[in-house]
């Protein structure tokens, strides 16, 4: 077993643990934190079903962002959509036999890597070209984009320029999952790609990438607008007792 | 009129280039020790206030899912940067919603996040210092908590929530705002923002009855503290004498009269407004609202109706049930609480009111959606009723009505520039600049359709517009109460038919 294999095996165990535990911890914190008052941004749906539909629109077509800024929406949506497709596509390195629908994506996948990088570059461009966005961009915002672009670019390079041994790679990951370690193909591009991905997984729970779980917990988006119809209490409002004699 | 230059309005709204620090000097007066003490806050900056502030912040975040999510989730996408009327009016980048949030987020990160503790420079984390506190004081008092930013943020981050939290922390360490805290003292001790005592209120209402009688020949009543009345009307105290507010109150009385519904005001709860929300104080929010529960029980009413006031309607509609409910002692067949516009609208739908719209033919009217009604509440039983119902009431009262540009009304409405506890003279410069986007949209309908009047359902909007309209060369009486228009057009009794 080569040093590379051992290092990457450990790296991915650690990165996965940090990602899963870190995000689970945050979700636990979000779920447990009380929301004492009703604060949906109105007009808001008056039923749970309506809220679910609002949330689906928010996370699939970025409804609010669309209202706000068409360029940011366009680049942001392209990036997220392509990233999503790529993530699914990458399942083929982790499933044996591969999921039935994956082969259908073969054609489409030729574009999504480019789409991802294009979207990212568009978003990054705004950080330089639009004075307001330049003002609010900090070092971490630029680094995050650099990281994602590097992940996309290294992936693209392997797909279109210097092919890597994906059969061995798949064996490596399946091996990791079944605790039966296999050799890791030590191509430089692949090592770069995987290192960056592991890095992304590690910083996920302590970075702004928390917007991914966060959006589902955002009270302005996930609350039902029915405060008159149904009494809502949580946290400090649950501790109030108004039935005591007046004036206390 | 104070000597302040209003921004020059162009052909259409532009998004200005950022200009650093243009509003760095804008701040409201800091509350004096006796005022602080009057609301139960420390008289001045407490010893070790930095740690007190940081600790308070941690507690608040752990008790609010909204704060937790909002502070973590911002990706600096910039979608909100051109959405704040204060940014559009001042060009100060710290008035961009995300930048305003970052004033607080930077401290939160420093003390409560891994990245901020270990890599502060990388994520823009800052220590809690006096400079930071002063910056908070300046810029969290340049936010009218209008929630316009929250409409456009992909995660619904609501800067209003952050401003409220920051103000609560500032009060907690002893650096509160004079205007809001003074108002709260009056509210707690007398029962309304203006400090109008019960006997004076009764007098004022008697005077109104006489005026209406002279005007219409009809005995319209403006009752106060009448036990057993069907409806308790809770309205902003400005309605008792400020112009154009009082025309609205006259209108409510005429509508109740025409409907034959018995109603009363309360001298104990003579204020619908609730500045507890503006300063982010749960304790004060509850204490102020509780007077209304007490009054309703004491008077034995069946229903509560709320007058024209934006933030009051938010508190009433969205919060009352949580903080002063349950309302099992009220008549469950009606919405609890109900907005006066809902009440009037119902009557109009049932053809129970008679109008002579031509009484308002001297006016071409537009409607200004008040932030808290538009983005933090509802009317009627369908989402968006808060836009439809007041317009229907206006349209029932006037012949000539035109809306302002769609991107400046409904959920995208621009704040009047004076909400959120900023309606104080020392902030006049900010208020004049902050109203620029609204004035721009108004100017466009003036030029295109000859609009002469703006109708609104918010006491703060009305006071703010009265003050700032002249700076934009519009007469101050351009601003009207919706129920002031109703009052003009409604026909009462035989003589008026
Ligand atoms: S709540 Fe309104 S005033 Fe405050 S930052 Fe957002 S848009 Fe500006
Ligand atoms: S729109 Fe929301 S996520 Fe984007 S910068 Fe503004 S607050 Fe942050």
**C-alpha dihedral sign at B264, B266, B270, B274:** negative
Taking only the tens place, the pLDDT of each residue in B55-85 is: 999 999 999 999 999 999 999 999 999 999 9
Residue A173 structural domain: 3-226
Distance CA B388, CA B386 (A): 6
Q: What is the DSSP letter of B82?
A: T
Mutate to test the interface with A, among B78, B145, B147, B310 (most CBs of A within 10 A): B78
When CB atoms are compared, the residue of A130, A211, A235 closest to B73 is: A211
Q: In which band, very low, low, confident or very high, does the pLDDT at B494 lie, cut at 50, 70 and 90?
A: low
Distance CA B410, CA B367 (A): 10
pLDDT value at position B192?
87
Collect all residues of chain B within an 8 Å Cβ-Cβ radius of residue A136: 76, 78, 81, 93, 96, 98-99, 102
Contact (Cβ atoms closer than 8 angstroms) between residue B427 and residue B28? yes
Give the residue from chain A lying closest to B105, CA to CA: A208
Contact (Cβ atoms closer than 8 angstroms) between residue A30 and residue B69? yes
Give the residue from chain A lying closest to B106, CA to CA: A138
A130 domain-assigned: yes
Q: pTM for the whole thing?
A: 0.96
- pLDDT of A246 above 80: no
Among B149, B176, B203, give the residue marking a domain's end: B176
Give the residue from chain A lying closest to B375, CA to CA: A42
pLDDT value at position A101?
86
Domain count within chain A: 1
Same domain? B361 vs B490: yes
Distance CA B193, CA B273 (A): 8
Q: What is the CATH number of the domain that holds B148?
A: 1.10.1060
Residue B260: CB atoms within 10 A of its CB come to: 8
Mean pLDDT over residues A61-85, rounded? 97
User: What is the per-residue DSSP string for B196-240?
Assistant: --HHHHHHHHHHHHHHHHHHHSS-----BS-TT-SEEEE--GGGG
Same domain? B121 vs B239: no
- pLDDT of B497 above 50: no
pLDDT value at position A248?
41
Which atom of ligand 2 is least distant from the CA of B159?
A: 7
When CB atoms are compared, the residue of B65, B121, B123 closest to A30 is: B65
Same domain? B132 vs B195: no
B290 domain-assigned: yes
Q: Scanning the structure block, which residue is given the tokens 């994906």?
A: A166
Q: Is B120 helix (H, G, I), strand (E, B) or coil?
A: helix
Distance CA B357, CA B395 (A): 9
Same domain? B353 vs B476: yes
* Distance from residue B66's CA to the centre of ligand 2 (Å): 14
Q: Closest Cα partner for B421 from B104, B171, B135?
A: B171
Q: Which residues contact A84 (CB under 8 A, 6 or more apart)?
A: none
Q: Could you tell me if the CB of B151 is within 6 A of ligand 2?
A: no
Contact (Cβ atoms closer than 8 angstroms) between residue B305 and residue B337? yes
Mean pLDDT over residues B226-233, rounded? 98
Q: Closest Cα partner for B259 from B332, B365, B338?
A: B338
Mean pLDDT over residues A128-140, rounded? 97
Which atom of ligand 1 is least distant from the CA of B419?
A: 3
pLDDT value at position A99?
86
Contact (Cβ atoms closer than 8 angstroms) between residue B297 and residue A244? no
Token pair for B210: 């006489």
Higher pLDDT, B403 or B8: B403
- pLDDT of B481 above 70: yes
Token pair for B183: 């108002």
What phi and psi, each to the nearest 5 degrees, are found at residue B376? -140, 15
Mutate to test the interface with B, among A32, A34, A65, A218 (most CBs of B within 10 A): A218
Contact (Cβ atoms closer than 8 angstroms) between residue B216 and residue B315? no
Q: Closest Cα partner for B57 from B209, B198, B163, B168?
A: B168
Which atom of ligand 1 is least distant from the CA of B434?
A: 3
Query: What mean pLDDT is reported for chain B?
Result: 96
Q: In which band, very low, low, confident or very high, does the pLDDT at B288 lie, cut at 50, 70 and 90?
A: very high
* Distance from residue A243's CA to the centre of ligand 2 (Å): 41
- Of the candidate ranges B148-157, B194-203, B222-231, B275-284, the one whose mean pLDDT is the lowest: B194-203
Q: Does any CB of chain A come closer than 8 Å to the CB of residue B150?
A: yes
Same domain? B157 vs B256: no
Domain count within chain B: 2
Token pair for A186: 């030590």
pLDDT value at position B104?
98
pLDDT value at position A244?
65
B22 domain-assigned: no
Distance CA B278, CA B268 (A): 22
A201 domain-assigned: yes
Torsion angle, CA of B332/B335/B337/B338, rounded to 10 degrees?
A: -140
Same domain? B116 vs B227: no
Among B147, B176, B205, give the residue marking a domain's end: B176
Environment class of A88 (CB within 10 Å of its CB; exposed 0-12, middle 13-18, buried 19+): middle
B254 domain-assigned: yes
Contact (Cβ atoms closer than 8 angstroms) between residue B233 and residue B264? yes
Helix (H) or strand (E) holding B479: strand B479-481
Contact (Cβ atoms closer than 8 angstroms) between residue B482 and residue B454? no
B13 domain-assigned: no
Same domain? B189 vs B167: no
A179 domain-assigned: yes
Among B157, B176, B195, give the residue marking a domain's end: B176
Distance from CA of A13 to the nearest CA of B (A): 21
Taking only the tens place, the pLDDT of each residue in B434-468 is: 999 999 999 999 999 999 999 999 999 999 999 99
Collect all residues of chain B within an 8 Å Cβ-Cβ radius of residue A42: 374-378, 383, 386, 411
Q: What is the CATH number of the domain that holds A110?
A: 1.20.950.20
Same domain? B486 vs B378: yes
* Distance from residue B154's CA to the centre of ligand 2 (Å): 7
Mean pLDDT over residues B194-206, rounded? 92
Residue B85 structural domain: 33-176
Query: What mean pLDDT is reported for chain A?
Result: 95
């Amino acid at each position: 077993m080569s040093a590379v294999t051992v290092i990457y095996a450990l790296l991915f165990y650690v990165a996965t643990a940090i990602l899963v535990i870190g995000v689970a911890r945050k979700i636990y914190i979000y779920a447990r934190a009380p929301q004492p008052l009703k604060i949906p941004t109105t007009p808001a749906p008056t039923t749970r079903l309506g809220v679910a539909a609002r949330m689906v629109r928010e996370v699939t077509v970025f409804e609010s962002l669309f209202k706000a800024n068409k360029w940011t929406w366009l680049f942001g949506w392209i990036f997220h959509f392509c990233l999503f497709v790529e993530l699914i596509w990458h399942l083929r390195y982790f499933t044996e036999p591969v999921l039935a629908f994956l082969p259908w994506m073969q054609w489409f996948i030729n574009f999504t890597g480019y789409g991802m990088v294009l979207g990212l570059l568009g978003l990054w461009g705004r950080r330089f070209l639009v004075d307001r966005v330049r003002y609010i961009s900090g070092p971490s915002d630029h680094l995050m984009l650099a990281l994602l672009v590097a992940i996309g670019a290294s992936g693209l390079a392997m797909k279109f320029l210097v092919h890597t041994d994906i059969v061995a790679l798949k064996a490596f990951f399946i091996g990791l999952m079944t605790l039966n370690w296999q050799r890791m193909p030590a191509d430089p591009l692949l090592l770069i790609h995987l290192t960056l991905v592991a890095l992304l997984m590690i910083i996920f729970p302590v970075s702004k990438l928390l917007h991914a779980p966060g959006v589902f917990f955002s009270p302005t988006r996930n609350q039902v607008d029915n405060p008159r119809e149904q009494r809502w209490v949580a946290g400090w409002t649950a501790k109030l007792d108004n039935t005591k004699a007046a004036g206390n | 009129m104070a000597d302040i230059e209003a921004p020059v309005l162009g052909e259409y709204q532009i998004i200005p280039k950022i200009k650093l620090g243009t509003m760095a000097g804008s701040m409201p007066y800091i509350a004096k020790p006796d005022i602080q003490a009057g609301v139960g806050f420390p008289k001045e900056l407490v010893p070790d206030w930095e740690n007190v502030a940081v600790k308070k912040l941690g507690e608040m975040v752990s008790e609010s899912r909204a704060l937790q999510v909002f502070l973590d989730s911002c990706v600096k996408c910039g979608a909100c940067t051109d959405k704040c009327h204060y940014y559009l009016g001042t060009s100060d980048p710290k008035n961009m919603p995300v930048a305003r949030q970052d004033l607080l987020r930077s401290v939160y990160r420093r003390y409560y996040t891994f990245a901020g503790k270990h890599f502060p420079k990388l994520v823009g984390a800052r220590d809690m210092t006096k400079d930071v506190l002063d910056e908070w004081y300046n810029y969290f008092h340049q936010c009218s908590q209008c929630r316009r930013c929250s409409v456009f943020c992909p995660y619904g981050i609501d800067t209003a929530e952050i401003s409220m939290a920051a103000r609560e922390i500032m009060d907690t360490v002893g650096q509160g705002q004079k205007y809001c805290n003074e108002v709260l003292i009056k509210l707690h001790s007398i029962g309304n923002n203006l400090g109008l005592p019960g006997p004076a209120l009764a007098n004022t209402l008697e005077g109104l009855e006489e005026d209406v009688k002279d005007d219409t020949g009809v005995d319209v009543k403006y009752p106060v503290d009448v036990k057993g009345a069907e409806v308790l009307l809770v309205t902003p105290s400005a309605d008792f004498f400020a112009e154009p507010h009082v025309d609205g109150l006259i209108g409510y009385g005429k509508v109740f009269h025409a409907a034959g519904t018995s109603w009363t005001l309360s001298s104990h709860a003579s204020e619908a407004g609730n500045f507890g929300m503006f300063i982010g104080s749960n304790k004060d929010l509850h204490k102020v609202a509780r007077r209304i529960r007490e009054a309703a029980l004491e008077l034995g009413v069946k229903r509560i109706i709320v007058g024209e006031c934006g933030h009051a309607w938010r508190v009433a509609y969205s919060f009352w049930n949580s903080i002063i409910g349950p309302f099992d002692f009220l008549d469950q067949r009606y919405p609890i609480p109900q907005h006066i516009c809902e009440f009037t609208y119902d009557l109009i739908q049932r053809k129970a009111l008679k109008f002579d719209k031509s009484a308002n033919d001297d006016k071409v009217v537009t409607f200004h959606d008040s932030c808290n009604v538009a983005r933090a509440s509802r009317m009627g039983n369908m989402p968006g009723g808060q836009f439809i119902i007041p317009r229907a009431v206006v349209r029932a009262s006037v012949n000539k009505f035109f809306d302002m540009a769609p991107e400046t009304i409904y959920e995208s409405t621009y704040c009047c520039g004076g909400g959120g506890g900023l309606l104080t003279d020392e902030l006049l410069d900010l208020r004049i600049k902050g109203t620029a986007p609204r004035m721009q949209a108004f100017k466009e309908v003036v030029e295109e359709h000859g609009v002469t009047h703006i109708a609104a359902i918010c006491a703060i909007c009305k006071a703010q517009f009265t003050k700032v309209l002249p700076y934009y060369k519009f007469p101050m009486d351009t601003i009207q109460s919706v129920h002031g228009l109703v009052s003009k057009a409604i026909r009462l009794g035989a003589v008026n038919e």
